[in-house]
Each structure stands twice: as C-alpha cells, then as structure tokens.
Chain A
Amino acid sequence: MDKIDRIEGRAIPFGAKNVDTDVIIPARWLKTITREGLGEGAFETVRAKDGNVFDDPRFEGAPILIAGDNFGCGSSREHAAWALLDMGITAVIAPSFSDIFSGNAFKNGILTVALPQAQIERLLDVAETDEIAIDLEHCTVTTPFQDRFTFEIDPFRRHCLLEGLDEVGLTMERQDAISAYEAKAAGDLSFLSGPREVAA
C-alpha cells in the first residue's frame, strides 16, 4: 500500500448527507472480479444530472472529497472505496462516516477525516475556489486563508497509513498467538470449533 503523509489539492464540495454506497457505486458495477475501473460508475446517479460537481472542470483530478454526515452508509461493498480511488480520491472529509465504509477506506489507503459541521461548511466554501491540504503527520486540515482544523484518528490506523503497512501481513506474523487461541478454544468452546458435519 502507498504511504500517505500529506494530501493537497482541489476538493470536490459535494456536501450531501447520508451518501450511501449505492450512490457511490450502484450495484450494477459490482459484477467485476478486479479492483480497477470502477471510477467510471462512481456517483453515476449524481453525474446523470447537468451541472453536478463531479463533472465540473474545476475539480478534475481532485484528490479530496467533502461530504455531509454519515458518509458511506448502507452496504459493505468495498467497491465504494475502490471507485473513489479509481477517481483519484485519496481523502474524504465529512462530519461522520459509517463504520464499515471507514474501515474499507482505511484498508485501501483512503484517509477519512471527521470534522464538525461548522468546519465542513467553511471547507465547502473554500473548496469552490481554492486548494485544501491535509497533513496526516500533524493531523491538521489547512486552507490558504489561515484556517487550521485539527482532527483525531485512531493511532494504529494513522501508523499504518503513514507507513503503508498491510494489515494481513501484520496479522500473519501473529500465527503463534492465533494457534494458541485455537488450541484453547478447541477445549472450552469445542462446539464452535467447526460445524459438526464438516469436522466429522
């Protein structure tokens, strides 16, 4: 995974609340067996309307998306994160995120930044004309107008993003601990250790 340190550039001032994953990537795009190419279907229903922000030339190639409360609610499809990445988006700023989406985003190297609504309003305003910068090292979002907002992020996630670490690889190193748990569970919780029909 690519290391993330600083994300800087234009931000798409989307602002919508409760953006569900069916909006980010409609179901008909989920039939792929690879992770690439989903940008084409991203926000398809929004882009069907003239004058939408996603097709506004000012925001072409923008690495940041600004949205409203509860971004990424709905289905667990990681295709939503892949679609954003394929569009070139590596950070989403919103007042809150659905739990599953923020996990999926993190695992694909997309930074989710939660800020209060008032600061979101300010960033939506700035984004119309100017660039925004996110500094993961110092956990700040800044604008050319001296705005400086700090955000909180899970320390483990921050570490993984900064170092570009792969979670599966990290856990594979804990095989002994997992085996020890399994040995214990095979005694205490033997009824969970395998569906009978298969284990027999």
Chain B
Amino acid sequence: MTDTPRTLYEKIFDAHVVERRDDGTCLVYIDRHLVHEVTSPQAFEALRMAGRKVRRPDLTLAVPDHNLPTTARRDDAGNRIPIADPASAQQLAALEANAPAFGIRYIGDADAEQGIVHVVGPEQGFSLPGATIVCGDSHTASHGGLGALAFGIGTSEVEHVLATQTLLLKRSRTMEVRVEGDLAPGVTAKDVVMHIIGVTGTAGGTGHVVEYRGKVFEDMSIESRLTVCNMEIEGGARAGLIAPDEKTFAYLKGRQMAPKGADWDKALAWWKTLPTDEGAVFDKSVVIDAADIQPTVTWGTSPEDTVAITGRVPDPASFADPSKQAAAQASLDYMGLEPGMKMTDIEVQNVFIGSCTNSRIEDLRAAAAVLKGRRKAANVTWAIVVPGSGLVKLQAEAEGLDKIFTDAGLEWREPGCSACLGMNPDKVPAGERCASTSNRNFVGRQGPGARTHLVSPAMAAAAAVTGRLTDVRALDAVETEPA
C-alpha cells in the first residue's frame, strides 16, 4: 500500500488512523483542537453531565472571538469594560470558566495573543503541516494553507474530540484545483479563491478534500495561502490544502508553540515527505488559467455569485438552470440590484476590512497601501479595520498602518470576528451595502437586511475612497474623473 502514489491529504489521513473498520469508517486522531465560545458551551455541558474529562487538554487551545466587541476592552484604569449584550457576555463567561475547569489553555480578551482562532493558530505555531486540526467553525479550512488537514466540526464532534481526541471519519474523495500561469498585477489570493468558487459552485467540492496546486499557489505567501484555504468551505469541501514547502517552514520556525531543536529537525524531515506523489490520482480535477482571474466581487447572496469588477450584474434569465434563475432573481431583489448594472456603479455606505479571511498583516498592508494619502468618500458612513489578532494589531501599529487608516477616516479596532457575522455589535444596517473582506455574502449575514459585496482588502480600500465598488487597478484614473 505504501508503494501506491498518494496525495498530500491521503498521507496525512493515513498517518492518523487509530483504527479502520470493515465499512471504511476510521477512528482518526486529532492533533490540534481550537475552541471558541459559540460552538463549545453545549459540548462542555455534555462532558460535565456524563462525568467525562478532556482527554488531551495540552492539544487544545481556547480563544474567544465571535462575540467580543471590537471597541476598547479596558478602561484607562485597566478595568474590564462590561459587555453590553447579556447573551454575549454569558457565552464568553462560559468559555472563560470552562477552559480552566477542564485544564485547557485559554487566551483571553486582554491577552496580546487573543484574536480570531484561525489567525491565532498559525501565528502561534499551534497549527502545523501534516497535523489534523479541528475547530467548531467551518473556516478551520484556513489552516490547510500550512499543509495541515484542517476542517470545521459541529458541537457534537467538539464533544467527541474533547472526550476522545478522535473523530469517526471516512476518507474523502480528492479534488485538485490547479491554477497555472501568473497572476496579473492587482489580483490577490482573495480574487483567486472567489474566482474558483465562481467556477466550481458552492457545492463543487462537497464530499471532497481539495488540494490547490500549480505555480500560482507555489508563488503565494503563507498568509495568502491561508486566505485561499479559508474560503474553500464556500466551495463545498470541508478542507483545502496546499503542500508545505520552504516558505511554510520559514514561516513556522521559532514561533511560540512550534517544535524546537531536535523535534524541529524531525518534523522537517517528515513534512518534506508529505507533498503529493508523482502519479497520484485525484478523483476530480479543475484547471484554471491564472490569466482569466481579475479583481473579483460578488453580486448576489451566495459566494458563487462572482463577477470581475469590470463586469456587470448578470441577468437571471442568462442562467441555464431554472432553480438558479429563481435564486439569482431572489438575490437581486435582496441586493436591490438590476441586471446589466456595471459593478463599478454600485455605491457602498460601509466598508469592513477584517475576518479570518483577510485580517493578517499582509492584508492590512495591502489596504493601507491603497489608503495612504487618501480619504474615504463622504457617502461611506461606516468603515472599520479589524486586525485578526492582538499581535497583528501591534505589528500594524509598529508599521504606522493604524495612522494611515485613521487619517483616511477609517476606524481602527480591537481584534475579533467583528462584522463578518452578526454576533457582536459590529453590524451593517438593513438595506445598506458593505464592501467586505469577509467570506460570506449570505442573506442577513452582516446583520438583518445587510447587503454584502465580498472583495479583497485592496478592493475594499478602493471602495472606501470612491464610495462605490472600484477596480483598484484604475483607482488613480477614477479619482481624476469629473464627477
């Protein structure tokens, strides 16, 4: 069996099988478990009721992120500012109590390391290549950017992992998404992954684990790879991976929780054996030419509703599938758009730069590069920049990025999930539009009635400047146009 060429995914899966049953179901060992406040309270409660403990608290890390307000958390005297929403406060208090009660390391709201779990894991070196990583959050797919097998789980599975450090899984089918060639200037990882989802659809990867291959991904930085894998779940696959390489190793070396000394050398030797073997077969393959990818935006209420910024709102009648026609019409009604409108004519009142998709230092640098020396448009009434973690925040401040944002009229916030989803005070008002660097443009995702257009950080910054969706590559020209 070891002679059969295997994919990266198959190698990681096989290395973690505790037991294989006759029907192909495997008990699979989990190396890293990230826990946040929303999907864990019922799991801890179930453990308590059954008198069970956490099998490997040392492999578990708890970080609050979804509910935390992104405004100041301490007053000038250093005292905690109470959270206004009692339900949010209760959920956060539950995690703060459950973590020590079960012996789990907890990074709290006042710690510099706090942030969105999917930013914190890689940043701390908690997430590693070849590891199985889970979290009660679908965007766990992010960690695949390091060459880990990482996927989101539900609360019952959170309980299962806490109690047994394993999950019952079947080997998924494999899918290769190959993007060949070179990206055009101004095209980012976010554009790449949105374009891919536009091609494959939101169910294109269902039942599969995706491996991203080709020069485009090899050329990408680690942070860009995390962005691509983060959104794989929008393409239907629970996990997306990119083979670890020298860039991955350089990124991880010396990080707080990464292996050290002889362990590092041993890890490195194993990680180098992980990339997909020559001759390994994928069950499904999608090939995309990098030259076809432009800065991409969404027009509808599904992440597959993508179009190049140079394009127009589609006519629902243009879709072959009748159910897609109906869905497209419903999307346009919700979004308040007419078929044929130029995407660059769509005005936005809100701009959100943040989320586990785009809140790392590279994202903030890209947005700041566009905003430097510019001001947000008058019709943009709410524009916030939310770093993915306290460490990203400190780094950005050391580079003076916060000053660029505030000089441009944007707000600089504390780390958390923020306006990606309506669980904390950061929401987009009903009927208003938001150019958002998050991952989901679902109905009501950013608040009841909110209209989301997904974009890259540079494109969000350009939209802030002009007050409408804008091709960042043409920003200079747009600014000198007569009004």
Q: Indicate which residue in A18, A104, A178 contacts B29 across the interface (CB closer than 8 Å).
A: A178
Interface residue stretch chosen among A21-29, A127-135, A138-146: A21-29
Give, as a whole number of angstroms, the nearest-CB distance from A31 to chain B: 4
Give, as a whole number of angstroms, the nearest-CB distance from B93 to chain A: 9
Interface residue stretch chosen among B200-208, B310-318, B401-409: B200-208
Q: Does B395 contact A (CB under 8 A)?
A: no
Q: Does B41 contact A (CB under 8 A)?
A: yes
- B245-273 at interface with A (beta carbon < 8 Å): 256-260, 263-264, 266-267, 270
Q: Does B155 contact A (CB under 8 A)?
A: yes
Known: A23-B443, A26-B448, A190-B263. A174 touches B130 (CB 8 A): no
A107 to B167, CA, bound (A): 12
Chain A residues positioned under 8 Å from B159 (CB to CB): 168
Q: Indicate which residue in B59, B202, B207, B442 contacts A99 across the interface (CB closer than 8 Å).
A: B207
Chain A residues positioned under 8 Å from B66 (CB to CB): 30
Contact A171 B164 (CB under 8 A): yes
A155 to B159, CA, bound (A): 23
Chain A residues positioned under 8 Å from B257 (CB to CB): 195-198
Chain A residues positioned under 8 Å from B451 (CB to CB): none
Give, as a whole number of angstroms, the nearest-CB distance from B464 to chain A: 24
Q: How many A-B residue pairs have CB under 8 A?
A: 205
Contact A76 B136 (CB under 8 A): yes
Chain B residues positioned under 8 Å from A45 (CB to CB): 443-444, 448
Contact A178 B18 (CB under 8 A): yes
Give, as a whole number of angstroms, the nearest-CB distance from A99 to chain B: 5
Q: Does B276 contact A (CB under 8 A)?
A: no
Chain A residues positioned under 8 Å from B21 (CB to CB): 156
Give, as a whole number of angstroms, the nearest-CB distance from A15 to chain B: 8
Chain B residues positioned under 8 Å from A23 (CB to CB): 442-444
Interface residues on A, range: 35 or more
Q: Does B411 contact A (CB under 8 A)?
A: no
- A73-110 at interface with B (beta carbon < 8 Å): 73-78, 81, 96, 98-100, 103-104, 107-108
Chain A residues positioned under 8 Å from B94 (CB to CB): 33
Q: Does A32 contact B (CB under 8 A)?
A: yes
Interface residues on B, range: 35 or more
Q: Does B189 contact A (CB under 8 A)?
A: no
Q: Indicate which residue in B88, B152, B206, B444 contacts A70 across the interface (CB closer than 8 Å).
A: B206
Q: Does A58 contact B (CB under 8 A)?
A: no
A78 to B94, CA, bound (A): 18
Known: A172-B164, A192-B31, A192-B130. A99 touches B445 (CB 8 A): no
Most buried by B among A100, A180, A185: A100
Q: Does B156 contact A (CB under 8 A)?
A: yes
Chain B residues positioned under 8 Å from A154 (CB to CB): 23, 25, 170
Q: Does B45 contact A (CB under 8 A)?
A: yes
Q: Name the CB-closest residue of A to B47.
A: A168
Q: Does A137 contact B (CB under 8 A)?
A: no
Q: Does A52 contact B (CB under 8 A)?
A: no
Chain B residues positioned under 8 Å from A68 (CB to CB): 323
Chain A residues positioned under 8 Å from B444 (CB to CB): 22-23, 26, 45
Q: Name the CB-closest residue of B to A108.
A: B156
Contact B138 A74 (CB under 8 A): yes
Q: Is the interface of A mostly helix, strand, loop or mixed?
A: helix
Q: Indicate which residue in A98, A171, A177 contacts B236 across the interface (CB closer than 8 Å).
A: A98
Give, as a whole number of angstroms, the nearest-CB distance from B192 to chain A: 21
Contact A98 B154 (CB under 8 A): no
Q: Does A194 contact B (CB under 8 A)?
A: yes
Contact with A along B132-168 (1 / 0, CB 8 A): 0000111010000000000011111101100111101
Q: Does B324 contact A (CB under 8 A)?
A: yes
Q: Does B327 contact A (CB under 8 A)?
A: yes
Chain B residues positioned under 8 Å from A192 (CB to CB): 31, 128, 130-131, 267
Q: Indicate which residue in A17, A194, A195 contacts B125 across the interface (CB closer than 8 Å).
A: A195
Known: A96-B206, A197-B257. A76 touches B153 (CB 8 A): yes
Chain A residues positioned under 8 Å from B207 (CB to CB): 99
A192 to B263, CA, bound (A): 9
A137 to B108, CA, bound (A): 49
Q: Does B238 contact A (CB under 8 A)?
A: yes
A100 to B18, CA, bound (A): 22
Contact B166 A31 (CB under 8 A): no
Give, as a whole number of angstroms, the nearest-CB distance from A14 to chain B: 13
Chain A residues positioned under 8 Å from B152 (CB to CB): 75-76, 100
Contact A168 B422 (CB under 8 A): no
A197 to B260, CA, bound (A): 10
Q: Indicate which residue in B136, B163, B166, B236 contacts A73 across the interface (CB closer than 8 Å).
A: B236
Q: Indicate which residue in B42, B58, B259 contacts A191 across the interface (CB closer than 8 Å).
A: B259
Contact A34 B448 (CB under 8 A): no
Give, as a whole number of angstroms, the nearest-CB distance from B94 to chain A: 5
Q: Does A118 contact B (CB under 8 A)?
A: no
A75 to B233, CA, bound (A): 9
Contact A32 B87 (CB under 8 A): yes
A53 to B238, CA, bound (A): 31
Contact A171 B166 (CB under 8 A): yes
Chain B residues positioned under 8 Å from A75 (CB to CB): 137-138, 152, 421, 440
Q: Does B344 contact A (CB under 8 A)?
A: no
Residues of B within 8 A of A (CB): 15, 18-19, 21, 23, 25, 27, 29, 31, 38-39, 41-42, 45-46, 50, 52, 55-56, 58-59, 61, 66-67, 85, 87-88, 90-91, 94, 105, 124-126, 128, 130-131, 136-138, 140, 152-157, 159-160, 163-166, 168, 170, 202-203, 206-207, 236, 238, 256-260, 263-264, 266-267, 270, 302, 323-324, 327, 421-423, 440, 442-445, 448
A-B pairs with lowest CB-CB distance, top 10: A195-B257, A31-B87, A107-B156, A104-B154, A78-B154, A191-B267, A33-B41, A76-B152, A191-B259, A78-B155
Q: Can you offer 5 A-B residue contacts whose CB atoms are under 8 A?
A: A22-B444, A23-B443, A23-B444, A34-B41, A191-B267
Residues of A within 8 A of B (CB): 16-18, 20, 22-23, 26-28, 30-35, 45, 68-70, 73-78, 81, 96, 98-100, 103-104, 107-108, 154-156, 167-168, 171-172, 174-175, 177-178, 180-182, 185, 189-192, 194-199
